[in-house]
């Protein structure tokens, strides 16, 4: 058995666009990865010394922030960050390990503890509520304190907690929410909603007796703080459309609402000439971004497409980066005292639940692109940028692959001479295995057509079936294929969250307060302090 101190990692596969990122002093020059270790020693040493100098020169500013942008990579565990970092580098033709995602270059880092009041492994509703209200609460509820009785409308009405977006609105700041999920989904809804059940997204989702409470979509449109949310971009059109209305993009799809309300029209009526609604990328691109509009953008009936499939959308939907750029321009166009913006890379989580590393890593790379755009568009001296996750996933990498091994591929280790082996590594059954895996989920043997005979193909969850025994022989399987599901020893229809801590990266005013390990709700207090609210 090899020592656990041997070199780590692996590397590979897929994204649509490769974006150049220059190497900073915190990593060796890219060409050092191609030379022998002895030749590269001086470069590694110099890079380490330069990183130290950069750290010593960090500015611990506690001046007030004009703007705060909170980026949440839903389900973006530390292992997801590492694997996505390698994949992005490999897409540029590099070994990958030396690469850094945009937010890994932010100067301050910490660790956030993600458990909820009643769960060791939490959900997105409780974790997002912690970051947006400053208190931990129970799982599956939004914008309410831990005194809540889940699924009880009266209890939710009795225990609301003000969110940072609401506080910012009351103080006269502009506010925005951007996501690749439904805009009424747990994480984006944590900025404006207070509900005893995160799934009450429209009135059609609410049980009898709960209609004294407003559904999540209504709470967004009717928000009674400041002048309401200024920019809301994401998916989820059906939650805003009455059941009699046909979707503008898919004629076979109708709205979900049973109360007859057209919330898109309600948005436009509320804001009059200052109101705008868009549902495709062309409309978003042609918006006047400097006239102080309130913009509602709903680009899919439900969640938006995965980034690797976005180009297939006939009507055209914007990327997370495009939405982030638009939101910042729109919020700046309102002038005033500054802004608060939440940006969620929500489909990282969905890909992991499906057991699909390919899409999870590509979503993470696009999330990094969005952070880079925000860094380019804002002044670090006046904007606090916080990048984190709401929770982890049971996703990991291992197996002693050689440097530069495709991250989505099968493990090929290094031999006694330190060079990569010519054949795949084998387990005790004589079978090859991958660098990446999930601890549970749909990726058990036979769950995917890519792996062999299986009930259904990604992105659909497998039908109930008795799992086969033993492992699949991956010898002839392309594990870098978009639909391949990483192996999972515990068969579940949907892979689960993890309870491990998540990373926090930050820059700007008060960013130095986010170092160390802390409870997740602390992030709210730092952001509020930065804005002096």
Indicate which residues carry an active-site annotation: 124
Contact 88, 99 (CB under 8 A): yes
CA-to-CA distance for 512 and 524, rounded, in angstroms? 14
| Helices vs. strands in the chain: H and E counts, helices first | 13, 16
Contact 498, 80 (CB under 8 A): no
Contact 92, 22 (CB under 8 A): no
User: Within a 13 Å sphere around the CA of 255, how many CA atoms are in the beta-carbon half?
Assistant: 22
CA-to-CA distance for 488 and 357, rounded, in angstroms? 12
Question: What element of type H or E holds 341?
Answer: strand 339-345
Contact 391, 502 (CB under 8 A): yes
Which residues is 437 bridged to in the sheet? 396
CA-to-CA distance for 440 and 52, rounded, in angstroms? 40
CA-to-CA distance for 393 and 77, rounded, in angstroms? 6
Using CB atoms within 10 Å of the CB of residue 398, give its burial: 0 to 12 exposed, 13 to 18 middle, 19+ buried.
middle
Where does residue 298 fall: left (phi above 0), alpha (psi -120 to 50 degrees), or beta otherwise?
A: beta
Contact 203, 211 (CB under 8 A): yes
Count of positions (residues) in the chain: 533
CA-to-CA distance for 126 and 110, rounded, in angstroms? 20
Which residues is 304 bridged to in the sheet? none
* DSSP letter string, 106-165: SSEEEEEE--BTTBSS--HHHHHHHHHHSS---TT-BSB-TT--TT-HHHHHHSB---HH
Where does residue 259 fall: left (phi above 0), alpha (psi -120 to 50 degrees), or beta otherwise?
A: alpha
* Nearest CA among 158, 406, 339 for reference residue 146: 158
- Alpha helices (H) in 151-245, listed in sequence order: 153-158, 164-170, 186-189, 216-221
Residues 6+ apart with CB under 8 A from 350: 181, 303, 306, 359, 459
Q: 3-state class of 33 per DSSP?
A: helix
């Amino acid at each position: 058995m090899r020592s656990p101190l041997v070199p780590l990692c692996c590397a590979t596969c897929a994204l649509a666009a490769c974006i150049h990122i220059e190497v900073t002093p915190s990593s060796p020059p890219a060409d050092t990865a191609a030379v022998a270790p002895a030749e590269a020693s001086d470069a590694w040493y110099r890079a380490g010394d330069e990183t130290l100098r950069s750290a010593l020169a960090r500015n611990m500013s506690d001046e007030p922030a004009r703007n705060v942008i909170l980026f949440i990579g839903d389900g973006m565990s530390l292992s997801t960050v590492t694997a996505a970092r390698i994949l992005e580098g490999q897409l540029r033709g590099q070994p990958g390990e030396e690469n850094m995602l945009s937010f890994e270059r932010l100067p301050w880092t910490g660790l956030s503890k993600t458990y909820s009041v009643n769960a060791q492994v939490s959900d997105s509703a409780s974790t997002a509520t912690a970051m947006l209200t400053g208190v931990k609460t129970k799982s599956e509820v939004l914008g309410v304190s831990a005194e809540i009785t889940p699924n009880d409308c009266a209890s939710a009405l009795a225990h609301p907690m003000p969110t940072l977006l609401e506080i910012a609105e009351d103080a006269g700041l502009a506010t925005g929410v951007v996501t690749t999920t439904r805009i009424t989904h747990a994480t984006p809804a944590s900025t404006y909603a207070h509900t005893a059940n995160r799934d009450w997204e429209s009135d059609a989702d609410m049980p009898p007796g709960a209609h004294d409470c407003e559904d999540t979509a209504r709470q967004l449109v009717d928000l009674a703080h400041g002048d309401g949310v200024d920019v809301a971009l994401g998916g989820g059109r059906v939650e805003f459309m009455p059941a009699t209305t046909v979707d503008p993009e898919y004629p076979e799809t109708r709205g979900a609402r049973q109360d007859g309300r057209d919330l898109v029209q309600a948005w436009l009526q509320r804001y009059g000439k200052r109101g705008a609604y868009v549902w495709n990328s062309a409309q978003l691109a042609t918006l006047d971004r400097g006239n102080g509009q309130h913009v509602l953008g709903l680009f899919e009936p439900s969640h938006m497409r995965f980034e690797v499939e976005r180009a297939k959308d006939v009507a055209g939907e914007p990327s997370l980066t495009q939405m982030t750029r638009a939101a910042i321009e729109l919020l700046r166009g309102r002038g005033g005292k500054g802004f608060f913006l939440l940006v969620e890379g929500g489909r990282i989580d969905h890909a992991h639940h499906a057991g699909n590393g390919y899409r999870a890593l590509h979503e993470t790379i696009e999330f990094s692109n969005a952070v880079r755009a925000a860094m380019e568009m804002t002044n670090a001296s006046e904007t606090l940028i916080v990048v984190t996750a709401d929770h982890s996933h049971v996703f990991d990498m291992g197996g002693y692959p050689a440097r530069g091994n495709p991250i989505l591929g099968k493990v090929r280790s290094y031999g006694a001479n330190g060079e990569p082996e010519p054949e795949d590594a084998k387990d005790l059954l004589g079978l090859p295995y991958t660098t990446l895996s999930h601890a549970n989920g749909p990726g058990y043997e036979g769950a995917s057509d890519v792996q062999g005979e299986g009930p259904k193909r990604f992105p659909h969850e497998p039908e109930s079936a008795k799992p086969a025994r033993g492992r699949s022989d991956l010898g002839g399987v392309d594990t870098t294929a978009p639909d391949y599901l990483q192996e999972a020893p515990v068969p579940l229809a949907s892979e689960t969250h993890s309870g491990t801590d998540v990373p926090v990266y930050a820059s700007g005013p008060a960013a130095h307060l986010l170092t160390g390990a802390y409870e997740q709700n602390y992030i709210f207090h730092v952001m509020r302090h930065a804005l002096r609210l």
